[in-house]
């Protein structure tokens, strides 16, 4: 047999390091410009994403990149439904959703979005918050554990 060849490049490290599903089922009315709270933690795996039940802060570890996917149901009878996210109090460009109708509807409105956020170079605390952008208070009507009114999935990408 011949000599052993050169060692190849190191492959991918494998599974996702951290992920979380955080959601809300209870009714809450949030004043415009304020963060929403989340009353339920689903699966949270790893130590780089954390949330205290009932808090508006989702804490992301420094030095990583995260994918955030969200859905919500808001009462659109008062004003158009609109939200966006902040990291450490700074708006995250491209993170928002505004109901395409610019006026109040007579029913609930569903919204969703997805974005990537980086905590590389951020100073603690690196709190992720969902902020109500509507022109008036926004109500998220009560649902149940199988049908949350706000649902967020966060995946640590690197």
User: Which spans in 12-124 are helix H?
Assistant: none
The per-residue pLDDT string of the chain (158 residues; one tens digit each, 9 = 90 and over) reads 788 888 888 877 767 889 999 999 999 999 999 999 999 999 999 999 999 999 999 999 999 999 999 999 988 776 778 899 999 999 999 999 987 665 555 677 888 999 999 999 998 889 999 999 888 888 899 988 899 999 999 999 99
Which CATH number among 3.30.465.10, 2.60.120.40, 2.60.120.10, 1.10.10.10 corresponds to the domain 19-156? Answer: 2.60.120.40
Return the ∠ at Cα 154 (arms to 153 and 158), rounded to 5°.
155
pTM score: 0.86
């Amino acid at each position: 047999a011949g000599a052993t060849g050169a060692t190849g490049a190191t492959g991918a490290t494998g599974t996702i390091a951290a992920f979380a599903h955080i959601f809300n089922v209870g009714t809450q009315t949030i004043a415009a410009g304020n963060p929403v709270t989340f009353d339920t933690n689903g699966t949270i795996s790893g130590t780089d994403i954390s949330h205290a039940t009932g808090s508006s802060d989702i804490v992301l570890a420094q030095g990583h990149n995260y994918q955030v996917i969200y859905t919500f149901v808001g009462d659109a009878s008062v004003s158009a439904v609109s939200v966006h996210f902040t990291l450490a109090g700074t708006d995250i460009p491209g993170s928002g959703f505004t109901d395409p109708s610019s006026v109040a509807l007579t029913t609930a409105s569903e919204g969703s979005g997805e974005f990537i956020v980086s905590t590389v170079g951020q100073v603690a605390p690196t709190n992720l918050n969902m902020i109500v952008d509507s022109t008036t208070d926004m109500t998220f009507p009560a649902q149940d554990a199988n049908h949350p009114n706000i649902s967020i999935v966060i995946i640590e990408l690197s």
